[in-house]
Structure 1
Amino acid sequence: MTTSAFTMNVNSNVRPERASNWEIGTNLRRDNLLTDDDSAMLKFGYFDWSVKDYIAREWGTTPQGWSGMRIHNIDSAHFAGLEISGRYEVGGFAAELAANYYTDVEFCRTAASCENKSLYADYATNQVPPRYSVDLTLTQKLMDDALTIGGRVSHVGRRAIGHGDVTAQGASQFIALVNWTPYTLVDVFAEYKFNDRLTGTVQNLTDTYYVEPLSLVVQPGPGRTFYGSLTASF
């Protein structure tokens, strides 16, 4: 077996990061919205996160003439977006929705050079979140609430930004992107309660091929998977 790695040169001039984050949102709740016994909740928010002196990684040469990787500060990094969640209940039925959307992801080498792409040789290459994601879960209670059946649909969009930097020779990206593309997953589940508890779940019902966002290796997620459990108390 053979291995190879880059050495990391010391950079004594690195400054600590300083984060400035703020969020604003609202919660709405309403009973008897459509019928006399239902309830609804909606939460909406906006977030804005800024990191001053963001610590990145680059390929460089020391004053002593050593070439290699080193950490250093860029001016800043910025992340902003929207979040929404909601729940509706009526009788034994419930629907839950959760979604988020990034309006801006950017890295600024200097205050005047902000770009919507990750940086050459930086770990952030594979730390860029999806532009958006949506989850919808539906459940229904039956048999005097002894049986609960339900399903979940999850959709993940593309990366929020690309990775435009390449090597000095222009041959390829220094850190390759882990290739994950938009995907949709469907899960179904059931839970039956008597003296004990019996549950069953089928994840990725449609056997979709996908790679999870922010993965550091091209490792596909689980295919169609069945789970079952029986819990008893003595």
Structure 2
Amino acid sequence: MDWAQFYATYAHTMRPPTTSELFYPGGHNFNGVGDPINNNPNLVPEEQKGLDIGVNLMGEGLLSATDKGHLKIGYFYNRIENYITYGYDANNDAKWINLAGETIMQGVEIEGGYDTGRLYANISLTIADTDQPLGLAAGFGNDVGTLPDDFGMLDVGARFLEEKLTVGGRVRYVGDSIQAYVNEEQSLERPAYTLFDLYGSYKVSKHFETFFTVENLFDKAYWTANTGTGDILSGITNGRGRTIMVGATTRF
């Protein structure tokens, strides 16, 4: 079938501890009083066994003689042993440690697009379930948290003037996340947020192109993932507000 491609990957991988996790004490908000994190030269690498399966679909002439589209659907399942996170060892010392047992990360990823030449649309979606534990007191001066499990993006646009002018809009969704605080039960939840963008470009010639983007069109206030307890407890949102960029590129 030239319109469908199936794939499957099974892999064993590893991630060695970083130099900071092994040797350097201190924390992101270290103020010189005590050691928020002790070094741990006994850390061992994380080991992962992962499965990735899915299908790629593609075709032309779907609704008209000149259109084309594609769709990718995939599922991943990863088991991680010796997961490295912030916590306390048997001597009650705060440091980066290896967790016992397995940490599971799994989910579905969808990516697709449709293009008629004049109009186009692209979509991407990740729906995951990550069993990432948070260490005791991980949020005191160390800004440890979890990334969102779910992401989504919808991009639609149109081309005019013999496809020299492109104008489009984009919707970005970021799911909720968790910022560590005293312990996992008392962690701080960060709500999901949705942002809207506009963009456009004009090809003046084959060597010169102008463009503009407007990110966070409605100037929404939000917290990014792994914000840190300081900003959260102060009530100060740190997401980028409305941002306008105008520029040009040239090629020789």
- Give the TM-score category using the shorter length: 0.7 to 0.9
Does residue 1:26 correspond to 2:63, yes or no? no
CA shift digits 1:26-77 (9 cap, x unpaired): 0001211112221110000001111112223323563xxxx53133322221
Equivalent AA in structure 1 for residue 136 of structure 2: Y
Aligned with residue 143 of structure 1, among 140, 158, 161? 161
- Which residue is equivalent to 2:131? 106
**What is the CA distance between 1:80 and its match in structure 2?**
0.4
Cα distance 1:48–1:61, how it changes in 2: closer, same or farther (>3 A)?
closer
Q: Does 1:182 align with 2:207?
A: no
Matching residue's letter, 1:187: D
Does the 8 Å contact 2:221/2:241 carry over to 1?
yes
Q: 1:10 to 1:210 in 2, by over 3 A?
A: closer
Confirm or deny: 8 A CA contact 1:118 1:125 kept in the other structure: no
Note if contact 1:25-1:45 (Cα within 8 Å) is conserved in structure 2.
yes
Aligned residue for 2:134? 118
Is contact 1:7–1:68 with CA below 8 Å preserved after alignment? no
What does residue range 5-20 of structure 1 map to in structure 2 within 5 Å? 5-6=34-35, 8-9=37-38, 14-20=43-49
Cα gap change, 1:38 to 1:12, in 2 (>3 Å): closer
Distance 1:61 1:6 in 2: 17
Q: CA, structure 1 residues 70+212, in 2 after alignment: closer, same or farther (shift >3 Å)?
A: closer
Paired position in structure 2 for 1:81: 107
Please state how far the C-alpha of 1:21 moved relative to its aligned partner. Answer: 1.4
For normalisation by structure 2, the TM-score amounts to 0.72
CA gap of 1:5–1:88, structure 2 versus 1, over 3 A, is farther
Q: Which residue of 1 aligns with 2:246?
A: 228
Structure 1: segments with no counterpart, 5+ residues: 108-116
2:94 matched to which residue of 1?
69
Once the two structures are superposed, what CA deviation does each residue of 1:135-183 show, in whole Å capped at 9, x if it has no partner? Answer: 0011211001111111101111223x7869739xxxx95xx64x53211
Decide which of 71, 87, 101 is 1:42's aligned counterpart. Answer: 71
Alpha carbons of 1:7 and 1:226: their partners in 2 closer, same or farther (altered >3 Å)?
closer
1:5 Cα deviation after fit: 4.4
Give the total of aligned pairs. 212
Contact residue 191 and residue 199 of structure 1 kept, 8 A = yes
Whole-angstrom distance in 1 between the partners of 2:75 and 2:143: 25
C-alpha deviation, 1:81, in angstroms: 0.4
Range 222-231 or range 181-190, more displaced:
222-231
Separation in 1 of the partners of 2:247 and 2:40?
53
Which stretches in structure 2 are left out of the alignment for 5+ residues? 1-30, 232-236
Q: Distance in 2 between matches of 1:3 and 1:165?
A: 21
SS in 2 for 1:194: strand
Judged with a 3 Å threshold, the aligned counterparts in structure 2 of structure 1 residues 22 and 164 are, in CA distance, closer, same or farther, namely farther
Inter-partner Cα distance in structure 2 for 1:26 and 1:93: 25
Partner of 1:93: 119
Query: Which letter does structure 2 place at the counterpart of 1:39?
Result: K
Matches within 5 A, 1:145-164: 145-159=163-177
- Structure 2 equivalent of residue 111 of structure 1: none
